[in-house]
Structure 1
Amino acid sequence: MAKTSIIQRWVRGSLLIMVLVLVAAEAIFLYTSYRELYGGVERAIENRFSTIAGRLQATGTASGGPETSESRAQALRRTVEQFDEKDKFEFMLLDAQGVILATSSGTMTQDLTNGSDFLEALTSSDGVGQARFTTPQGERVMAVTTLVPYTAGNIAALRMVTSLTLMDRQWQQYLLVSVTIGVLAFLLMLWSGLFFVRSIVRPLGEVEATATRIARGDLKTRLPATKYNDEIGRLCGTINQMAEDLAETDRLKNEFISSVSHELRTPLTSIKGWVETIKTIDDPTDENYRRGLSVIGTETDRLYTMVEELLDFSRLQSGIKLQCQVLDLVAEATDAALFVEARIKQEGLQFVYEEPPDPYPVWADPARLRQVFVNIFDNAIKYSDPGGTIFLTLTRTPETVTVSVRDQGRGIAPDDLDKVKQKFFKARNAVRGSGIGLAVVDEIVHALGGRVDIQSALGQGTTVSITLPVYHPGQEHLHETI
């Protein structure tokens, strides 16, 4: 498909319509002006005829009877001779064949007639005919002929001729002014339209170029600030914010890769070292031999846990299907507590949990819910000092159930508190681990229709609360995929 631009679309669309409207307006104006200008001349001549007929009527020359025919003819001839607007009009009397019988100027030249107005008067219903033509001398004139409504000797029609030179000049002025105004209006529309379109196209061009650079990996590029708080300005702000978020995500990703690489290298180094040591020991009962096997087993479990976290995170990003069912949250939390209780005591910590007597039904995936609990407990254990206490509390409202795990560990810095659930983020006081446990927890809980709340204070501990909706019949079709 051929590329088009907004300017081309504007020219083919809006500008073309505006030009057509302008041309139509010009045509209507010129047509109306032409009709008014030349129609005014015709009406002026017809008014002269009406005035002459009124005078004849007043003097009684049109009062009927064959005996007055000659007197009417004489009256008409006197009217022509005494016509007082000879400088504007040429007044003529015509016979039944259209031959000039008398004129107001006294000349009988045929230059001021072409016969068409007389023929039109003979065939028209009102007995009036009009013609415009150019004389042999090159002068444009208008002739109007009206039939005499009574017998007047051999006089059959009255005719007036006037020059159109002044009217033509005025019409030419109208035409010139109209075309000039039309051209100026077109240029104004073109300029204003191009100015407006370019005010959109130029920023969009910068947006396109900047977005292209961002797509190619240049996350430092930014759009210049715009002075307009419109759609373009907000789009520029959104693009800049997107670039900042991408840069931050890229930074966190790099830090995450570096951190995970370090976390993987530490147990691998320990395993490799003890393998080399064990190779030199032939006695399986040797203390170092047994200690080496223990360290290798511990570090292998640590590696397995980290790899599982990474795989879980990858699966969540790609989308997995949840196997949800009606669960008792109290039973699930109790099972998770029993699973981690031995490790809590091994780390020199106390565990406080009072199991609620009633079940708390929820609609969830048991495997994923167990993973949520284990990750939260794991963080609570890692960030607690020996001698501290971990609290597990379950509460319920008519619509929600909440599981809270509180520790008395080092806490989270206020600047990091809003970011600990972000992908790849690892707090400044974080200990070993991949740093994606809370991100996985947040993804799963949101997929189940719940929320994760974290409250913490440095040196006082952290509380992680998981809130899920209470199960109601009909909820089965919800939260089936992540």
Structure 2
Amino acid sequence: MKRRVVLSFMVVILLMLVLVETVLYFGVKEHYYVSMANTLQRHAETSASFFNKYEDQQLRNYKGHSDEIIHSFQYPGTRLELLDREGKVLFSSTGFMVPDDYPLPKRVLTGEETYDVESMETTDESVLASYSPLMYNGQTIAVLKYTTSLEEANRTIRTIMLWSVAIGSTLSIFVFFVSLWIANSLVTPIREITKGASNLTESYFQHRLNEAYPHELGRLSKTLNYMAEEIETSNRMKNEFISSISHELRTPLTGIKGWVDTLKGNKGLTDEEQEQGMEMLSSETDRLIHLVEELLDFSRFQSNRIILHKEYFCLSHLIQEVYVQLEPYLLEKQITCTLVNSGAVDLFGDRARIKQVLLNLMDNAIKYSQSQTIIELSLEYTSEEARVRIKDEGIGIQQEKLPHVKETFYQSDTRQAGSGLGLAVSDKIVKLHGGHLEIQSEWGKGTEVIVVLPRG
């Protein structure tokens, strides 16, 4: 990857340098050539204007005055030639006559000045030729051709380009090392992050990435570290859940197995003892059924296979029903439950699922409350929603654990029996009804859970 980054930088820089060098070359060349041409054309224009002011009719015989014209209009450092309309050289400032005719530009025959870059036939030398017409009665009767060598200009242009290429090469080397440094600064953390991600795929979640990288790489490292922490926490909760659920299954099964063996022997058992054994079997079986139902509900919620059977029902009667069902449990733990009912409240929802939620919440309140304490079960409502409040005086929940209590498998106190699914399942049921759970707690003083449900 580092090679690709460096190569990308260098390709872009080299393309930019080639473009700049090309533009610079043509720009400098155009500047020098145009400057020289303008100088010659200004002199030629002055010479032509001077010639055109003559009113002497004898000037129509300009061929007889060619020598005078050459010496009058000569410009230092140039060769001046007087040409007729056909391009034939009439006179030259060098004294050498060219037998061949010059092809004249069409523009000069129409009275316009022009210039061109040409090559000397004898020396192959590049020269700049400037053409200026000599006018008489609105017609071109002759042409002044100024020719100057471009060797000096080309030498200057080559020097400028050599310096430009040298500077560009130095810049390319500098950019190469800078791009190498940038590539290393990008590739090294990416390699570390890739290695860290590979560790996650190999279930090595204890590894943490360096979060000191700048910008997006640092944020990516933080995200991966957070993900690793969440996965690690999830795995720990899963393992605790497996351990807890195994214990929850084994305990009633052990009791059932013991009583079954006892009842099978039936040696010297009184009717009261047999009745006690049957009640024990029924109680532990109900406990197993409840546990399996929780697992099944959790599976249905995870796969979105839960179906609500909604109907209108009286929430007040349902709360009374829950209270009656849990009354023996309350008496057993010597806990007082005060029921505050505001009157008949109709609700549109799944009656069985709402009852499941209330039973779970009341079961938690009883489980974490001491004897001789009070649990308050109350109902409040408006035209739009109903609020069922369950407030206990139990051990409460620590503040750092409070945000996690609705998470799957989470148990605020692992010493207590339970699967860690009850509150998570209850929260999902309430959300499916369009409501939410509000949980407030103070460690050592108790917990208040409010079930908020829309009435419509």
TM-score normalized with structure 1 length: 0.81
Alpha-carbon separation, structure 2, partners of 1:298 and 1:96:
128
Sequence identity (%)? 32
DSSP-derived class of the 1:304 partner: helix
Contact 2:435 2:451 in 1 (8 A): yes
Alpha-carbon separation, structure 2, partners of 1:417 and 1:406:
16
What aligned pairs does 1:12-161 form with structure 2 within 5 A after superposition? Answer: 26-57=21-52, 62-65=54-57, 67-70=58-61, 72-73=62-63, 75-81=65-71, 85-86=75-76, 88-95=77-84, 97-105=86-94, 107-108=95-96, 110=98, 115-118=101-104, 126=112, 128=114, 130-150=116-136, 156-161=142-147
DSSP-derived class of the 2:104 partner: helix
Q: Is structure 2 residue 448 aligned with structure 1 residue 463?
A: yes
Alpha-carbon separation, structure 1, partners of 2:130 and 2:415:
107
Cα distance, 1:358–1:306 mapped onto 2, change above 3 Å:
closer
The aligned amino acid for 1:452 is L
Determine the structure 1 residue equivalent to 2:434. Answer: 449
1:23: Cα distance to partner?
A: 5.0
1:26: Cα distance to partner?
A: 4.7
Contact 1:313 1:436 in 2 (8 A): yes
Alpha-carbon separation, structure 1, partners of 2:212 and 2:398:
36
Cα distance, 1:8–1:123 mapped onto 2, change above 3 Å:
farther
Contact 2:48 2:132 in 1 (8 A): no
Alpha-carbon separation, structure 1, partners of 2:24 and 2:399:
74
Alpha-carbon separation, structure 2, partners of 1:114 and 1:171:
32
Cα distance, 1:410–1:277 mapped onto 2, change above 3 Å:
same
Cα distance, 1:158–1:412 mapped onto 2, change above 3 Å:
closer
Alpha-carbon separation, structure 2, partners of 1:115 and 1:205:
75
DSSP-derived class of the 1:466 partner: strand
The aligned amino acid for 2:232 is A
1:129: Cα distance to partner?
A: 6.1
Q: 1:280 aligns with which of 253, 260, 265?
A: 265
The aligned amino acid for 1:247 is E
What aligned pairs does 1:166-185 form with structure 2 within 5 A after superposition? Answer: 166-180=152-166
1:97: Cα distance to partner?
A: 4.9
1:109: Cα distance to partner?
A: 5.1
Give CA deviations for 1:245-293 in whole Å, capped at 9, x if unaligned.
1111111111111112122222222222233333332466455444333
Give CA deviations for 1:174-217 in whole Å, capped at 9, x if unaligned.
44345456656666777666766765555444434322321331
1:450: Cα distance to partner?
A: 1.9
Alpha-carbon separation, structure 2, partners of 1:161 and 1:356:
114
What aligned pairs does 1:283-432 form with structure 2 within 5 A after superposition? Answer: 285=270, 288-319=273-304, 320-359=306-345, 361-397=346-382, 399-428=384-413, 430-432=415-417
The aligned amino acid for 2:430 is V
Alpha-carbon separation, structure 2, partners of 1:363 and 1:184:
79
Alpha-carbon separation, structure 2, partners of 1:469 and 1:6:
58
Cα distance, 1:221–1:389 mapped onto 2, change above 3 Å:
same
Determine the structure 2 residue equivalent to 1:209. Answer: 195
Contact 2:88 2:102 in 1 (8 A): no
Alpha-carbon separation, structure 2, partners of 1:227 and 1:452:
40
Q: Could you list the runs of 5+ residues in structure 2 that have no partner in the other structure?
A: none
Cα distance, 1:132–1:424 mapped onto 2, change above 3 Å:
same
DSSP-derived class of the 2:209 partner: coil
Determine the structure 2 residue equivalent to 1:476. Answer: none
The aligned amino acid for 1:31 is F
With 160-169 and 301-310 compared, the bigger mean Cα shift is at: 301-310
1:366: Cα distance to partner?
A: 1.5
Contact 1:117 1:144 in 2 (8 A): no
The aligned amino acid for 1:69 is R
Contact 2:14 2:172 in 1 (8 A): yes
TM-score normalized with structure 2 length: 0.85
Q: Could you list the runs of 5+ residues in structure 1 that have no partner in the other structure?
A: 472-482
Contact 1:400 1:468 in 2 (8 A): yes
Alpha-carbon separation, structure 2, partners of 1:203 and 1:449:
45
Contact 1:117 1:145 in 2 (8 A): no
Alpha-carbon separation, structure 1, partners of 2:234 and 2:207:
15
